[in-house]
Amino acid sequence: MTDRGDRRMMRGMATTHTTSAPTTSAYTAKFLDGPLEGKTLRRSYGEATAPAGRLEIPAAREGTRYLYLLAGALEHDEGAGALPTAAAYRYLRVSAD
């Protein structure tokens, strides 16, 4: 293809980017290790503008929770807005009342 043909082809393509308002209302928490390794959990953003830095997930034993911390790995899906659609979490410890 010649340069002229390439230019014609590019002129016909349209790209739209929307970053002004978030369109994502929830994200997927991905557990990288610990008791919940390989599992995912859908979390609402609510009023937050970023995934939670710390998650406490109820464990099987009453009064205990698994404590996970944000690992810093964020995923963004094209067209989903400015907020991440997934976040990775690492296990810290089990917490009891």
Cα(12)–Cα(67) distance, rounded to whole angstroms?
51
Residue 21 carries which DSSP code? S
- Structure confidence at residue 8 (pLDDT): 42
Q: Residues 30-82: pLDDT tens digits?
A: 999 999 999 999 999 989 889 999 999 999 999 999 999 999 899 999 888 88
Split at pLDDT 50, 70, 90, the class of 23 is: low
Cα(16)–Cα(8) distance, rounded to whole angstroms?
19
The β-bridge partners of 71 are none
- Structure confidence at residue 93 (pLDDT): 98
Cα(65)–Cα(67) distance, rounded to whole angstroms?
6
Judged by DSSP in three states, 70 sits in: strand
Which residue, chain included where needed, has tokens 């503008």?
Answer: 49
pLDDT higher than 80, residue 15? no
